Structure 1
Amino acid sequence: MDRTPGLSVRFKLTLSYAGFLMIAGVLLLAAVWVFLLRYVPDRAMLINPDDRPANGVFPIRSALLDVFAPRAAAVLAFLLVFGLLGGWLLAGRMLAPLTRIADATRMATSGSLAHRIRLPGRKDEFRELADAFDAMLARLEAHVAEQRRFAANASHELRTPLAISQALLDVARNDPTQDLGEILDRLHVVNTRAIDLTEALLVLSRADQRSFTRTPVDLSLLVEEATETLLPLAEKRGVTVETSGDVAPAFGSAALLLQLTTNLVHNAIVHNLPEKGTVRVETAVGPETVVLTVENSGEKLSPQSALTFTEPFQRGTERVRRDHAGVGLGLAIVQRITEVHDGSLTITPRAAGGLRIAVQLPAPPARFTDRTSGQ
């Protein structure tokens, strides 16, 4: 935005330094003058023993003023020049860190987020500001890189069902002998996958925007709703789902927390043993937090591979071809919903195989807890 031209900060500081020095000089000269007036008499008797008629009373203060005034003016002029020059140099030295910060800001505005100020020297106010700005640039650079990677992966994932649909349509148009029913079934599957991916992207976007109202939510009720919804899928895959725990009041968006719970249970059912798999869902309450834990049986996983599961579109090669395998955003959505609710997500491989995923969320404020318990 355009700003009205005015004096620079350096010039203002220079005038401030020079003005303060001038005021100090005037006060000092005034103190000297008051001292002289107090201890120097107004008049003095001049006595000449050799010349009696020449004896008389002569003024001293007026003569002193004639001598003091020009010298005081010279001192004030020197202080003014010294204050302006010295103030200009001091202001430039003091504002040098701000110049480096401003240069870094302009580079960041132009799109260069890799630059860092790295201000040397002791940790003063300018150093703290520069370090905070460097930390902000690092977070922005990581966020932009993550968004670019996410956009590239999302584009790739969306392009795949669209390309398959295009190929199926070309086959149906160019080969009349093909079974249209089979083609329609395959198109339905591909289209369903594209819809699921789009809805997952929308959920992830809404979670990133934090545009939701926080209300008290009982995680145990969300667990019941999610397990009932996914029970047919569990029965189809031969997975036993067990739930336990106490009432677990959380604070946030009921819709997003239900999405989180559903994703965790769905992930535990799908990525399980081929037969006789198990899923355990438990809620627990701590002093200031509530914990939702989902455990499942499955193949043995390394801690290093578990760290990548929350990355968007990160899936094992064996999982991609299974039915109901999802779109690769399940745990990424879980992590984002957990983060926007100021919680933490822990993924731990089980020694017997499978995963243990724990979501820890803050408990509701006391006023909401008291209101809920009183109803």
Structure 2
Amino acid sequence: MTRAPGLSVRLKLTLSYAGFLMVAGVLLLATVWVFLLRYVPDPPPGTRDPAGSDVPFLHSPTRDDLLEAFAPRAAQMLVFLLLFGLVGGWILAGRMLTPLTRITDATRRATHGSLSHRIRLPGRRDEIRELADAFDTMLARLETHVAEQQRFAANASHELRTPLAISQALLDVARLDPTRDPGTLVERLRDVNTRAINLTEALLLLSRADRRSFPRERVDLSLVAEEATETLLPLAEKHGVTIETGGDVAPAVGSHALLLQLTTNLVHNAIVHNLPDAGAVWVTTSVGPTAVVLTVENTGATLTPESVPTLVEPFRRGADRSRTDDAGVGLGLAIVKRITEAHDGTLSLTGRAGGGLRVAVRLPAATERAAGGPP
């Protein structure tokens, strides 16, 4: 944004300090003058020394005498106050604005891509130091976000390149071997293309959740959980996994489509990454004073405390999680995390003592006002 040049903040503060000091000085002198006038009477008639008289004439000081003696000293004092205010104000303004110079320098570095720089302003807490601390926090979050986006872009590029490379290899084999069965080639190309489409749709869903560009309505998480489990029931039967649902009516405010995707991802993840035989998944909802909670637990292999937090990172899988036809594209929990954050909620993952994973999504509870009801 282009702006016309103007006075610096330091000069404005200096003029403000000096102006205030001048006003205070004028008021003080005016008060003294008014106070003195109350006790100095006007000269009575006939007490002035006749004109041309050589005889010394003594009389009490009058208001004219007071004005003649007071005015020059008052003018000198005002000039001194003006100079003192300008010099002192310039020094004080400089000291007060020194922290802002450091903040400005950090801002310029950030605009040039250096997000690792921190202000770290010393001293006791005040408004300027709170601003500097808030700016440091913002830089830290930006640095983390940019690093995550860079890793995500690199991983997404790698994941998108894989199906394209496989397709290219299949086509090269078909071109070099004309006797190869075209039906098998088409079927494999279709599977590879399906995986690429699923990955692209997952990336678009992540982008939509990050932008928070979705309509909000009242959504009952218990009904969403039932809908998701019914959809994935054939997959659970295929893997020999039983699903149990239950809990309370849990009204939240958000996008029904995104919250359904969140629940579907959690249940799908719990089914696919479970025990080889006789696995189980529990889906429950609960209501608190200010929040509703959707919990999905599953049996499975024991997870280390260090590996659990990494499961929400894009394209990350546990050590025992191999890529299968039902394993998805590695964005299931990453999408869950983004959708949860887009709904101002929190996501927590903990390993179960007997093996498996427990995922809890806590969202703000719907109120009548938030849900579009009467105020």
The TM-score, its normalising length taken from structure 2, stands at: 0.91
| SS of residue matched to 2:245 | strand
Give 1:273 shift: 1.5
1:108 matched to 2:98? no
Instruction: Give the helix-richer structure, 1 or 2.
Output: 1
Q: Note if contact 1:46-1:58 (Cα within 8 Å) is conserved in structure 2.
A: no
Map of 2:179 onto structure 1: 177
AA in 2 matched with 1:35 = F
Q: 1:217 to 1:46 in 2, by over 3 A?
A: closer
Matches within 5 A, 1:1-375: 1-43=1-43, 55=57, 60-367=62-369
Listed one character per residue, the Cα deviations across residues 309-364 of structure 1 (whole Å, up to 9, x for unaligned) are: 11111113542332211111101111111121122222222222211222222221
Distance 2:71 2:291 in 1: 77
Q: Note if contact 2:217-2:371 (Cα within 8 Å) is conserved in structure 1.
A: no
Larger mean CA deviation between 349-358 and 115-124 belongs to: 349-358
Listed one character per residue, the Cα deviations across residues 190-239 of structure 1 (whole Å, up to 9, x for unaligned) are: 11111111111111111111111221112222222212221221222222
Unaligned runs of 5+ in 2: none
Q: Note if contact 2:296-2:358 (Cα within 8 Å) is conserved in structure 1.
A: yes
Distance 1:366 1:261 in 2: 24
Give 1:116 shift: 1.0
Q: Note if contact 1:210-1:340 (Cα within 8 Å) is conserved in structure 2.
A: yes
Listed one character per residue, the Cα deviations across residues 163-193 of structure 1 (whole Å, up to 9, x for unaligned) are: 1111111111122122222222211111111
Distance 1:53 1:138 in 2: 89
Give 1:369 shift: 7.2
Q: 1:69 to 1:167 in 2, by over 3 A?
A: same
| SS of residue matched to 1:305 | coil
Aligned residues: 369
RMSD between aligned residues: 2.4
Larger mean CA deviation between 242-251 and 112-121 belongs to: 242-251
AA in 1 matched with 2:249 = V
Q: 1:370 to 1:313 in 2, by over 3 A?
A: closer
Distance 1:61 1:318 in 2: 102
Listed one character per residue, the Cα deviations across residues 91-128 of structure 1 (whole Å, up to 9, x for unaligned) are: 11111111211111111111111111111111111111
Q: Note if contact 1:42-1:59 (Cα within 8 Å) is conserved in structure 2.
A: no
Give 1:28 shift: 2.3
Give 1:292 shift: 1.7
Distance 1:56 1:131 in 2: 72
Give 1:133 shift: 0.9
- Report percent identity of matched pairs: 73
Q: Note if contact 2:206-2:335 (Cα within 8 Å) is conserved in structure 1.
A: yes
Q: Note if contact 1:273-1:297 (Cα within 8 Å) is conserved in structure 2.
A: yes
Distance 2:12 2:369 in 1: 51
Distance 2:208 2:244 in 1: 31
Give 1:35 shift: 3.4
Distance 2:242 2:151 in 1: 37
AA in 1 matched with 2:4 = T
Distance 1:315 1:119 in 2: 41
AA in 2 matched with 1:361 = L
| SS of residue matched to 1:345 | strand
Give 1:142 shift: 0.8
Q: 1:90 to 1:160 in 2, by over 3 A?
A: same
Q: Note if contact 2:252-2:366 (Cα within 8 Å) is conserved in structure 1.
A: yes
Q: 1:246 to 1:61 in 2, by over 3 A?
A: closer
Q: Note if contact 1:46-1:56 (Cα within 8 Å) is conserved in structure 2.
A: no
Distance 1:261 1:148 in 2: 27
Unaligned runs of 5+ in 1: none
